[in-house]
Amino acid sequence: MSLTVRIDPHVHSDASYDGTDPVELLLEQAAEIGLDAVVVTDHDVIHESVRAAELAPQYGLVGIPGVEVSTADGHLLALGIEEMPPRRASMAETAAWVRERGGTSIVPHPFQRSRHGVRKRRLQGVEPDAIEVYNSWAFTGWKNRRARRYAEAYGYPGVAGSDAHKVGYVGRAYTEIGIDGVSRAELTADVILSAISDGATHVEGRRTPIPTSARHYAGAGARKSSFYAKYGAYRSGALAKMGALSAARTLYRVSPLSQ
């Protein structure tokens, strides 16, 4: 029995300084386009990723927490952990820290200095679990091809990630993982991350992550509008309720009953 799992391991929520959408929308989009898991990897904060991992089963997804941490040598994805790695340590030290806690470290967009990718000379000796060889935000394919060549030369598994900062971009690049001897009901974060480290990966960098799901990208905008409409109504109601309570407290304070 062989199971094919599709995961986008590099996505940002509104907890990132440059992200725009809440984790609920990211999870909904991932489920709609047929992914099995999505990892929220915000910049140097992990609280929303942990929450997303807890919510994921409600969307039919496997929950995997993670973070994109700023090391002294460039950015590093730390998957499968629930606490922040030390910031500004060397990438080698950070990867070792992640490994000691049972997590998986992936080098995102290597060699892309404008996006805090690690330099080649700094990457040697790091020993990550995988290299991101396809990032959908690369302006040209050259850096992706360079990352792929490096991974192949040094024997690292290659993964693909969308690096989405908006809900409509989730899954534009994703990783297929072949896992033997596991049913979908038995699929866990540890099983997926172990398979990545073992190199059972296949990179997909198409504009649409699954051929039959193109229509869902157009639906992402509608879902976003619907979500914020509901959220706005909730906030308006909550604020109105707070206003009524505040007015009641004020009336009580000035009434004889409060004396």
Q: What is the pLDDT of residue 251?
A: 41
Percentage of the chain modeled with pLDDT above 90: 73
Please tell me the pTM assigned to this model. 0.82
pLDDT at residue 218 tops 60: no
Cβ proximity of 85 and 100 under 8 Å:
no
Residue position matching structure tokens 């394919």: 141
Tell me what the mean pLDDT of segment 190-196 comes to. 97
- Count Cβ atoms below 10 Å from residue 183 Cβ, excluding itself: 9
Tell me what the mean pLDDT of segment 96-105 comes to. 98
Q: At what angle do helices 23-32 and 214-254 cross, to 10 degrees?
A: 150
pLDDT in tens, 133-172: 999 987 668 899 999 999 999 999 999 999 999 999 999 9
Q: Could you say which DSSP state residue 200 is in?
A: -
The closest alpha carbon to 205, from 110, 135, 112, 152, belongs to 135
The closest alpha carbon to 227, from 160, 167, 170, belongs to 167
Rounded to 5 degrees, φ, ψ at 10 are -150, 90
Q: What is the pLDDT of residue 205?
A: 72
Cβ proximity of 26 and 43 under 8 Å:
no
Task: Decide which of 259 and 122 is more confident.
Answer: 122
Q: What is the pLDDT of residue 137?
A: 84
- Which string of DSSP letters, residue by residue, matches 158-198? EEEE--BSSGGGTTSSEEEEEEES--GGG--HHHHHHHHHT
